[in-house]
């Protein structure tokens, strides 16, 4: 059997691409700005523009933190009443409310687990067993389809086949010739029989009542429900701890805020529950590096509705090496860039979104791509000033001070909100470390975004599988299990 490192290719030259992009975006502008200063031109307007980008992002982060003070629910029990309720609704902090009316029992459900087995051979049995034993089964029907591809036969396939022989709800679907998650999932979608289809990555373990929680939204006018991802291997190292808090910020705060206030959301690739007829109409595009965001965009532009419910929790594994983290985030960044280039104009012209939703999707797409380029210009501005007069003046514009204050305040504020919603899942000191390191963490992600732009410009769309990190002890146990 080939070793995992022989199957999952590594990507060289990343640092060279990063150096090239910084030469283009930092070094060359420094020279240009210096020459402008020598020619007697001030750069205050440029500096204010850069500061505006920092301020806008910081204010959005603060808004998200405030908008998600109360926990989002799939019902109205426990909501405030009277003046408190009116004030909460006015401030958009009252939580998601669905009617308390009786609903029919949940329809049949199909869980599709997408896997690339050489990479995920040690964790896939644990995932399938979790679904078969820990998730509540609707009486209308329950099935689990493992949609996978592998370049070679693996011992774990025999163990999976044995499980399928004893569990009628479980089906193995080896998609020969597949080169992507999208192809695996599309093949399974055509085989799925459930009224609802949930897409899961191979490392996800959803909560026991996930189906009933998602069903409430699907029975009240929504077509897709995205749940929340949490990190279960967070104690592994510094990186996994940072990602754990980051995911709370993403799923418990940011995604929840846009769903709560603007009534729009995205399908994030896993732990998403679709009405089967909608998903069979949308399917996934294997040419897109983030097929989930592409499908979300096409669904919204077709008039379908997506909700985010952070009470539908699924535990996943974070990358535990910097290389795996880099490859994952570079693919995400390049995939978002592809979606931005393809769908920003349709988002402006669609009749299915409100003005507020269009503005927010402009923030998620166009603004998202401009942000790392424009905010990095603060360094050429500073460097050119140092070259020109040898020091930094202490006097500054009031807006520059304002943007600095709100930017520095937004990180800790978002961290406090994130850790509050984690509700003891992680030690409090995770949040303290994250708040202290978040600026550097964001700078690393911005650097990765620059490399993604380089690759998209030169049409390098190689899809690198994210390596799944598990502890040495657990790896040994799971290896014995699948042997």
Among left, alpha and beta (phi > 0; psi -120 to 50; other), residue 284 is beta
Place of tokens 């001070």: 401
CB 357, CB 263: distance < 8 Å: yes
Q: What is the pLDDT of residue 16?
A: 84
3-state class percentages of the chain: helix first, strand second, coil last, to nearest 5: 60, 10, 30
Express each pLDDT in 46-57 by its tens digit. Answer: 999 999 999 999
Q: What is the pLDDT of residue 86?
A: 63
Domains located in the chain, CATH noted: 23-68+102-483 (3.90.550.10)
Going by pLDDT thresholds of 50, 70 and 90, the confidence category of residue 93 is very low
Question: What mean pLDDT is reported for the chain?
Answer: 87
CA–CA gap between residue 40 and residue 34 (Å, rounded): 10
Residues 6+ apart with CB under 8 A from 368: 336, 340
Percentage of residues of the chain with pLDDT beyond 90: 70
Write the CB contacts of 473 (distance below 8 Å, at least 6 apart in sequence): none
| Tokens representing residue 158 in the block | 């025999």
User: Which of helix, strand or coil describes residue 392?
Assistant: coil
404: pLDDT strictly greater than 80: yes
Q: How confident is the model at residue 17 (pLDDT cuts 50, 70, 90)?
A: confident
Residues belonging to the chain: 483
Positive or negative: CA dihedral 442, 445, 450, 453: negative
Mean pLDDT for 148-173 is 95
* Region of poorest pLDDT, from 99-103, 258-262, 429-433, 469-473: 469-473
pLDDT score for 101: 65
| Rounded distance between C-alpha atoms, residue 61 and residue 406, angstroms | 10
- Give per-residue pLDDT as tens, 241-287: 999 999 999 999 999 999 988 899 999 999 999 999 999 999 999 99
DSSP conformation letters of 274-305: EEHHHHHHH---TTSSSHHHHHHHHHHHTT--
pLDDT given at position 462: 73
Structure tokens at 223: 């077509």
pLDDT value of position 44: 87
Q: Which of 147, 149, 141, 148 is nearest to 110 (CA)?
A: 141
Closest by CA position to 276, among listed 223, 204, 225, 314: 223
- Contact present, 110 and 194 (Cβ < 8 Å): yes
Grouping H, G, I as helix, E, B as strand and the rest as coil, residue 139 is coil
pLDDT given at position 10:
47
Q: What is the pLDDT of residues 21-42, one digit of tens each?
A: 989 999 999 999 999 999 988 8
| Per-residue pLDDT band at 99 (split at 50, 70, 90) | low
7 pLDDT higher than 50:
no
What per-residue confidence (pLDDT) applies to 469? 54
Q: Which residue has the tokens 């373990």?
A: 205
Give mean pLDDT, residues 450-477.
70
Burial of 279: CB neighbours in 10 Å, binned 0-12, 13-18, 19+: buried
Mean pLDDT, rounded, for 210-238: 95
Residue 68 has pLDDT above 90, yes or no: no
Name the 3-class secondary structure at 228.
strand
Mean pLDDT of 169-183: 95
DSSP string of 316-379, one letter each residue: E----SHHHHHHHHHHHHHHHHHHHHHHHHHHHH-SSS-HHHHHHHHIIIIIHHHHHHHHTTHH
- Name the pTM for this structure: 0.89
Q: What is the structure's pLDDT at 92?
A: 47
Residue 48 confidence (pLDDT): 93
Q: pLDDT-derived band of residue 477, with 50, 70 and 90 as boundaries?
A: very low
Helix (H) or strand (E) holding 403: helix 398-422
pLDDT at 15: 78
- For range 123-137, the mean pLDDT: 97
Please report which confidence band the pLDDT of residue 474 belongs to, taking 50, 70 and 90 as the band edges. Answer: very low
Q: What is the pLDDT of residue 471?
A: 46
For residue 481, name the pLDDT band (cuts at 50, 70, 90). low
Mean pLDDT value of segment 321-345: 95
Buried b / exposed e over 332-354, threshold 16 CB at 10 Å, is bbbbbbbbbeebbeebeebeebe
């Amino acid at each position: 059997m080939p070793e995992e490192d022989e199957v999952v290719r590594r990507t060289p030259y990343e640092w060279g691409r990063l150096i090239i992009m910084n030469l283009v975006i930092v070094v060359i502008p420094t020279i240009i700005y210096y020459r402008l200063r020598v020619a007697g031109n001030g750069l205050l307007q440029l500096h204010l523009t850069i500061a505006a980008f920092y301020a806008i992002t910081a204010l959005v982060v603060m808004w998200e933190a405030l908008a998600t003070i109360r926990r989002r629910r799939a019902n109205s029990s426990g909501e405030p009443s009277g003046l408190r309720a009116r004030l909460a609704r006015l401030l958009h902090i009252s939580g998601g409310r669905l009617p308390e009316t009786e609903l029919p029992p949940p329809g049949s459900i199909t869980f599709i687990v997408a896997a690339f087995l050489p990479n995920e051979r040690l964790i896939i049995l644990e995932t399938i067993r979790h679904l078969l034993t820990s998730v509540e089964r609707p009486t209308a029907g329950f099935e689990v389809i493992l949609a996978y591809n592998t370049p070679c036969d693996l011992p774990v396939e025999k163990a999976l086949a044995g499980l399928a022989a004893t569990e009628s709800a479980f089906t193995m679907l080896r998609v020969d010739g597949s080169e992507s998650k999208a192809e695996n999932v599309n093949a399974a979608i055509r085989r799925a029989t459930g009224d609802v289809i949930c897409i899961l990555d191979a490392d996800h373990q959803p909560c026991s009542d996930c189906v009933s929680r998602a069903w409430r939204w699907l029975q009240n006018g929504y077509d897709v429900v995205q749940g929340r991802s949490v990190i279960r291997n967070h104690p592994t190292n510094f990186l996994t701890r940072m990602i754990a808090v980051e995911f709370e910020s993403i799923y418990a705060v940011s995604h929840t805020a846009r769903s709560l206030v603007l009534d729009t959301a995205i399908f994030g690739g896993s732990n998403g529950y679709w009405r089967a007829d909608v998903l069979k109409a949308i399917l996934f595009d294997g040419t897109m590096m983030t097929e989930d965001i592409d499908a979300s965009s096409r669904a919204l532009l077709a008039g379908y509705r997506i909700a985010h419910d952070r009470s539908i929790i699924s535990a996943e594994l974070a990358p535990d090496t910097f290389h795996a983290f880099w490859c994952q985030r570079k693919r995400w960044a390049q995939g978002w860039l592809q979606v931005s280039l393809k769908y920003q104009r349709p988002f402006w012209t669609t009749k299915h979104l409100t003005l507020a939703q269009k503005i927010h999707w402009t923030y998620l797409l166009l603004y998202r791509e401009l942000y790392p380029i424009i905010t990095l210009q603060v360094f050429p501005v500073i460097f050119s000033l140092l070259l020109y007069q040898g020091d930094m003046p202490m006097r500054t514009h009031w807006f520059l001070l304002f943007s600095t204050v709100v930017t520095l305040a937004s990180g800790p504020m978002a961290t406090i909100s994130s850790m509050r919603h984690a509700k003891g899942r992680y030690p409090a000191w995770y949040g303290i470390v994250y708040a202290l390191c978040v600026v550097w963490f964001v700078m690393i992600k911005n650097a990765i975004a620059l490399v993604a732009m380089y690759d998209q410009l030169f049409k390098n769309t190689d899809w690198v599988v994210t390596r799944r990190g598990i502890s040495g002890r657990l790896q040994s146990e799971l290896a014995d299990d699948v042997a």
